[in-house]
Amino acid sequence: MPRYSISVIVPTYNRRELLDFTLNSLARQDLPVEQFEVIVVDDGSTDDTKDIVEQYADRLILNYHFQEDKGYRPGSARNLGILNAKGRACLFVDSGIILHSSCLRQHIRMHASAATPISVLGYVYGIYQEGLTEDDLRRMITPGEPDKTIALFKTLGKGFDLREKYYKKYNDRVEDLPAPWTLFWTCNVSVRLSDLQRVGPFDENYDGRWGCEDNDLGLRLWNDGVKIRLCREAESIHLPHGKDTEARLAQGYANCEYLNKKFGTEATSLFLEYYKSIAMNESVDINELLLLKQSAFSTQS
């Protein structure tokens, strides 16, 4: 039997300050601490990441695992977390994601109320979008106060989840879409451990490059009958930090090519065709294209 209601798996690499904010938000959850564990998987950091983790040893049930630095390996890191998880569900968050105080409780509620297996998309404020710079976001975000910051985002009507336009368009019913896995991002998403064990963990062939390992898992879960559902109440914030966008686009495209070769479906082919536009948050909706094709086929039939 699972020992905890949920296992929070946090991969990290040389992001001690961001990890500190993430762990602080976990220590402030309104869920009793004995109901969840936090598994930090260090992908070979050379800073004092382990020291940061140890500072929370008296506030959280913590497990720290270190793997040798062999390059960027988020899939391997998360798999190490899954291997050691003792929760009924696994919640994947990145270091630099700070959680609303009720986030874990909302993930648990969603899984407990579902009659069939589901994966839960949490809501992520603060990812860069048109009209907001990183400096704008830094001025709006108080890292130690995610609840207050989220309330501010709502009041200002800014900083919403990058996927919000799709959520609104489909009335939050992402589970009814032909390719909901395109919205499956591991910055704040939970899956039952038993479902992960059945469909298999992250595909480590994506290691070494950024992107698509989460979409791959989402696609396999969806193919296996695991519904992908949105939970707006499972709120979080993505803390801004510099990144090489061009390098990420190139790496993501290479991983998307592998994804398409692996599955070879119409949906993965469209995802590859429009990948760079999607990654740049341009107005390309893979699910709309698929729905239009389904409608045209139905009409012809």
Least confident residue range of 27-31, 182-186, 230-234, 280-284: 280-284
Quick check: 54 and 175 in contact, CB under 8 A? no
- pLDDT greater than 70 at residue 300: no
pLDDT score for 203? 97
- pLDDT greater than 60 at residue 301: no
pLDDT score for 293? 83
pLDDT score for 188? 98
Mean pLDDT, all residues of the chain = 92
Question: Does 281 reside within a domain?
Answer: no
> What's the CATH code of the domain at 16?
3.90.550.10
Q: What is the pLDDT of residues 228-266, one digit of tens each?
A: 999 999 999 999 876 667 787 888 899 999 999 999 999
Question: Does 300 reside within a domain?
Answer: no
Total structural domains within the chain: 1
Least confident residue range of 141-150, 173-182, 211-220, 241-250: 241-250
- pLDDT greater than 80 at residue 279: no
Domain extent at residue 150: 4-242
- pLDDT greater than 90 at residue 99: yes
Question: Does 235 reside within a domain?
Answer: yes
- Helix 286-300 / helix 266-273 crossing angle, nearest 10 deg: 140
Least confident residue range of 51-55, 69-73, 134-138: 69-73
Question: Does 104 reside within a domain?
Answer: yes
- Give the pLDDT band (50/70/90) at residue 112: very high
With the C-alpha atoms ordered 237, 191, 199, 166, is the resulting torsion angle positive or negative?
negative
Question: Does 277 reside within a domain?
Answer: no
Question: Does 279 reside within a domain?
Answer: no
Question: Does 296 reside within a domain?
Answer: no
Instruction: Find the mean pLDDT for residues 140-166.
Output: 94
Whether the full predicted model's pTM is greater than 0.75, yes or no, is yes
Question: Does 14 reside within a domain?
Answer: yes
Taking the C-alpha atoms of residue 218 and residue 236, their distance in angstroms, rounded to an integer, is 20
Bigger pLDDT: 188 or 301?
188
